[in-house]
Amino acid sequence: MSQFDRQEYINNNLTDFGMPNLPQVPSRIQCISIIGQIEGHMLLGSQNKTTKYEHILPQLVAIEQDKDVEGAVVLLNTVGGDVESGLAIAEGIAGMKKPVVTVVLGGGHSIGVPIATAGNYSFIAASASMTIHPVRLTGMVIGVPATMEYIERMQDRVVDFVVRHSHISDEKFRELMFTVGELS
């Protein structure tokens, strides 16, 4: 590969995945970073730091298919984001046959909670925090009863996932979720 081709490859990687192509060190453990807001079906502004779920899912598949890779570490510092996209990432992690460790550094807020619990082993740094809250919706709402039912079902999906992948009961998780005036 010529120097020009190599630089173009690095630039494309930086543009596509938000990180340069670091020198390849033979490793049996792959690292995935989920930083900023989880971007899903709606594009966020260029001033927002985002992780695109359509970039994470293929990385999970590649890790699963690579015979030389034995596992993955997922680093989280997220404020949350698109609920369905976050759940897709969490389900992708939870469904892997290879071991996955999730580490919350900074924050694992909102939809970051299911992602944090999706690994075989989950850790949170002593200085990190995680915020649990009811599912929220921004923008104009038409048809309040139908929208309310949709939000409740989405929230049930989040709660069910966390309960299945952690040691918390449905009741305790919902109690923390609906606690007002306190960081849960």
Whole-number pLDDT of residue 40:
80
Residues 125/105, Cβ–Cβ less than 8 Å: yes
Query: Side chain identity at 148, as an amino acid letter?
Result: M
Based on the residue annotation, tell me whether 133 is a catalytic residue of this protein: yes
Which residue out of 41, 55, 85, 110 is catalytically annotated?
110
Whole-number pLDDT of residue 152:
92
Q: What is the DSSP letter of 23?
A: P
Angle in degrees, CA 167, 170, 172, rounded to 5? 80
Pairing of strands 121-124, 100-108: parallel
Q: In the structure, how many helices (H) and strands (E) does the chain have?
A: 6, 5
Whole-number pLDDT of residue 7:
61
Q: For residue 120, with 0-12 CB atoms within 10 Å meaning exposed, 13-18 middle and 19 or more buried, which class applies?
A: middle
Which residue out of 55, 133, 166, 184 is catalytically annotated?
133
| pLDDT tens-digit profile, the chain (184 residues) | 566 666 666 556 555 555 555 555 568 999 999 999 898 877 777 888 888 888 999 999 999 999 999 999 999 999 888 889 999 999 999 999 999 999 999 998 999 999 999 999 999 999 999 988 888 777 777 778 888 888 899 999 999 999 999 999 999 999 999 887 765 4
Whole-number pLDDT of residue 49:
85
Structure tokens at 130: 């995680």
Q: Which domains does the chain have, with CATH numbers?
A: 3-131 (3.90.226.10)
